[in-house]
Amino acid sequence: MKRNVSLFAFIVLSFIGLISFTGEGENSQPTGLTVDFLANADRVFLNGYQVNTPLYQAVGRRENFQFAEIERKKPFFGWIVNSGRNNTFQTAYRILVASTPENIAADKGDCWDTEKVNSEQSVNILYNGSDLKPNTVYFWKVKTWDNHGVESSFSQIRQFKTAPELKDYATSRYPVQKQDVYPALVKQIDKSAWFIDFGKAAFGQLRISLFGNSETDTVTIHFGENMKDGRVSRSPGGTIRYSKYKLALKPGWNTYKIALTPDKRNTGPQAVLMPAYIGEVTPFRYCELEGYSGTLDKNQLVQEIAFYPFNESQSYFTSSDTVLNHVWDLCKYSIKATSFLGMYVDGDRERIPYEADAVINQLSHYGVDREYSIGRYTYEYLLHKPTWPTEWIMQSVLMAWNDYLYTGNKESLQQFYTDLKAKALLPLADESGLISTRTGKVTPAVLESIHFNGNLRDIVDWPQSGILGLGKKEPGETDGFVFQDVNTVVNAYHYKALTALQQIAKVLGQTSDEQMFVQKAAKVKQSFNEKLLDKNKGIYVDGIGTDHSSLHANMFPLAFGLVPEKNVDKVNSFVQSRGMACSVYGSQFLLDAIYNGNNSEYGLGLLASTAERSWYNMIRVGSTISLEAWDNKYKPNQDWNHAWGAAPANLIPRKLMGIEPLEPGFRRMIIKPQPASLKHAEIVCPTIRGNVLMSFVNEPGKSFSMKVEMPANTTADVYLPWYPKSKVTMDGQVVKGKQAGKYWVIEGIGSGKHEFGVMVN
């Protein structure tokens, strides 16, 4: 096969058997080995750049190497089970951990040899060997047995280094990485001015090689995210970045690194700072040189970009809708580009973690890479450094549950269970179970329990009218929400947090807490629908004491499962009547609500919209990273590098293509595409157990065909469109599906490759 075959062709060929994603033959090794979620714990970097020095050799060298350090006394291990057969699950494994390369090569696990363990478990296997030493490199590998009687060979040998101090619990991370990007365009403007376009904005630095004629030669370098009239925009507005620097040249050829001046706002006491080995960065796509009369080509300029290690090949999406494809590309790249600090922050303006950014960033990262450490680290950071909005406090519980669903690892839930319970804000409840921050119940004890020193305020959406450059007559992003003491959006979040805590308590064996959360959630749901649902209109008002109904007061209850069945159609209709009357942050929950309500055509219309309030508009205005707002006029101080604007990176795999975990760690999943009028689409979706591949061809109302490949050690419940007088086929055979609303359901599908079809008779 030619090396330049497209990924689309690669996927198609895989389905007809010319390429196997699951291994080469019966004796396939385990792959994707992880230690504490880190798939590349043995990578070594030098000032952010990856080098070829082996980890065990790098530890003793003088260079300024960086590498991941495992901080736990007992790390956990995982791998991908591979097989060329359908319906494969692991039946046993053997892990070896050794102190030297010689021992591991000789199959001697002098630190830990599990011997053959009869178990399906292939993720989250806790180390149980001799005590690990601090500041030491270890070597490990694994082999598996499966239900077909196949014993694999050992995996490739992987390494990991322990931290100088080991702890009972910690979340390990990678160092921030750097990569060189060369210009897509170098254009001479006049005799001494040049315009450079690197193709995409990124957080980084500039390295440049120039020729100086004398000691007095000086050039001016302009950096920017925005372009105007073929030049770097000097006044882009908002917090869109522009800066300029003077550079004195030395005679002859020299290479220069532009030392960037720190911004006071995003390097303050609350901000997360760049690692010293990376140095200060700025987001830029364009450069301009003034005062340089020499020649300039693409090899003389390098954009040194910084990001958390990111595997581009772990995800892929394309469809028959070109706008949707561009939106996917924008949002996937945004997750990579905004990871430059090694944790999720609010873009470049403040560089501070916020729960609302993090919950969208977390789900979106899951959608584009098999990466879980940065999401866990950020949510745990926010547990003890929360921000001021009431709803965002409760989002910590949602992030904790997302972490468990996608990883199957409950140790973070165990470690922070007390903190998570406090985040539900139960002390703010009245006798009906509904909570309020405006009735005198926010005591110092409550604030201490959630680790917050400040004033809690309800937010609903952001920005609100009259702030951040918006006049008092400008509506902001709350759809005219009328704030009351008992707020509908706040209590929708409270209900969602309680239901998540009910599940968390069950996982942890906290039986009395589980029952308590079940009762409180039921009480909140009852009171919510008695006091906040307008019985005449069949939709929700913004709070007790107002008859105003906003998009937000209805989309959050719909997204979080609060709407009685008899009211779903009316709430759905109202939600659709309001359009995109929310911010890019709110759009996450709006689309969740729409797809949860099976309104796929409306959902597709919003995802692929070209209106002003759309993801495509972010591309149209000139950004290559998702924006903080739909447009400058909706948030005059916005920046052009906010991952909370990248919700389609998770909405496309989770909702449109319908791939979500049903059991923690993707042991069992749901595959429920909602294609609407989309003619065809293909996706590679990462999971902790390996990639899920899916493609469909759709003729709405007539036929639907779908091909799926699932990794070993997984099963799926598959949902297909239901048509009257239709038949369902699986792997060429007619099967009897179970009807559930507008879907045929086939449960318990095993791993491997399968083809499904629905056709009207």
Read off the pLDDT band of 28 (50, 70, 90): confident
Give the strand pairing for 726-730 and 733-735: antiparallel
Numbered ranges of CATH 2.60.420.10 in the chain: 668-760
Q: What is the pLDDT of residue 471?
A: 75
Q: What is the pLDDT of residues 76-124, one digit of tens each?
A: 999 999 999 999 999 999 999 999 999 999 999 999 999 999 999 999 9
Are 417 and 397 in contact by the 8 Å Cβ rule? The answer is no
H or E segment and range at residue 619? helix 615-620
**Three-state SS string across 424-473, please?**
CCHHHECCCCCECCCCCCCCHHHHHHCCCCCCCECCCCCCECCCCCCCCC
Query: What distance in Å separates the CA atoms of residue 741 and residue 201, rounded to the nearest whole number?
Result: 45
What does the block give as tokens for 71? Answer: 């901080």
- Stronger pLDDT, 214 or 178, i.e. the higher one: 178
Note the pLDDT of residue 9: 39
Cβ–Cβ under 8 Å, residues 237 and 636: yes
Say whether the peptide bond before residue 700 is cis (omega within 30 degrees of 0).
no
Q: How far is CA 24 from the centre of its chain?
A: 31
Helices (H), 18-140: 55-58, 101-105
| Phi, psi for 318 (deg, rounded to 5) | -150, 155
Residue 46, pLDDT above cutoff 70:
yes
Give the per-residue pLDDT at 470: 75
In the CATH hierarchy, which top-level class contains the domain 7-167? mainly beta
Q: What is the pTM of this model?
A: 0.95
Residue 7 above 60 pLDDT? no
Residue-wise pLDDT tens digits, 349-399: 999 999 999 999 999 999 999 999 999 999 999 999 999 999 999 999 999
Handedness of CA 423, 74, 377, 716 (dihedral sign): negative
Contacts of 2 (CB under 8 A, 6+ apart): none
Query: 3-state DSSP: the chain helix, strand, coil percent, rounded to 5?
Result: 30, 30, 45
Nearest to 689, CA basis, from 158, 157, 126, 31? 31
How high is the mean pLDDT of the chain?
95
Does residue 537 register a pLDDT over 60?
yes
Does CATH number 3.40.50.2300 belong to domain 177-307? no
The distance of Cα 535 from the centroid of its chain, to the nearest Å, equals 38
Residue 2 has pLDDT above 70, yes or no: no
- The predicted pLDDT at position 296 comes to 96
pLDDT score for 93:
98
In the chain, what percentage of residues exceed pLDDT 90? 93
Q: Could you report the per-residue pLDDT of 263-289, keeping only the tens digit for each?
A: 999 999 999 999 999 999 999 999 999
Rounded Cα distance between 527 and 511, Å, is 24
Q: What is the pLDDT of residue 16?
A: 31
pLDDT of residue 10: 37
Q: How far apart are CA 624 and CA 39, in angstroms?
A: 28
Taking only the tens place, the pLDDT of each residue in 577-611 is: 999 999 999 999 999 999 999 999 999 999 999 99
C-alpha 562/C-alpha 495 separation (Å) is: 8
Amino acid in the structure at residue 635? K
**CB 11, CB 693: distance < 8 Å:** yes
pLDDT class of 737 with cuts at 50, 70, 90: confident
| pLDDT confidence of residue 26 | 58
pLDDT band of 27, cuts 50, 70, 90: low
Cβ proximity of 110 and 395 under 8 Å: no
Q: Where in the chain is the domain with CATH 2.60.40.10?
A: 7-167
Residue 584: burial class (beta carbons within 10 Å; 0-12, 13-18, 19+): buried
Kindly tell me the burial class for residue 528, based on how many C-beta atoms sit within 10 Å of its own C-beta (0-12, 13-18, 19 or more): buried
556/487 Cα distance (integer angstroms):
12
What are the angstrom distances between the C-alpha of 349 and each of 265, 356, 638, 665?
Answer: 7, 16, 8, 35
Q: How confident is the model at residue 465 (pLDDT cuts 50, 70, 90)?
A: confident
Domain span(s) for CATH 2.60.120.260 in the chain:
177-307
**Predicted confidence (pLDDT) at residue 22 exceeds the cutoff of 70:** no
b/e string for 740-757 if b means 16 or more Cβ within 10 A?
eeebbbbeebbbbbbebb
The reported pLDDT for the residue numbered 451 is 98
pLDDT top residue among 60 and 305: 305
pLDDT at 5 over 50: no
Cβ-Cβ contacts under 8 Å for 623 (sequence gap 6 or more) = 201, 225, 330, 640
pLDDT band at 335 (very low <50, low <70, confident <90, very high): very high
The residue with tokens 């990991």 is 160
| pLDDT tens digits, 619-654 | 999 999 999 999 999 999 999 999 999 999 999 999
Give the gyration radius of the chain's Cα atoms.
27
* Residue 510 in this model has a pLDDT that exceeds 80: yes
The pLDDT value given to residue 13: 34
Query: What does the pLDDT look like over 467-484, one tens digit per residue?
Result: 777 777 778 999 999 999
pLDDT above 70: residue 162: yes
668-760 folds as Maltose phosphorylase, domain 3 (2.60.420)
Share of the chain above pLDDT 70, in %: 96
pLDDT surpassing 90 at residue 18: no
Instruction: Give me the long-range contacts of 625-631 (CB less than 8 A, separation at least 24).
Output: 625/200, 625/201, 625/283, 625/330, 625/333, 625/334, 625/337, 625/338, 626/330, 626/331, 626/334, 626/584, 627/584, 628/347, 628/584, 629/463, 629/477, 629/583, 629/584, 630/580, 630/583, 630/584
Question: What pLDDT score does 12 carry?
Answer: 38
DSSP-derived secondary structure letter, 655 = I
Decide: 159 and 41 in contact? Cβ < 8 Å. yes
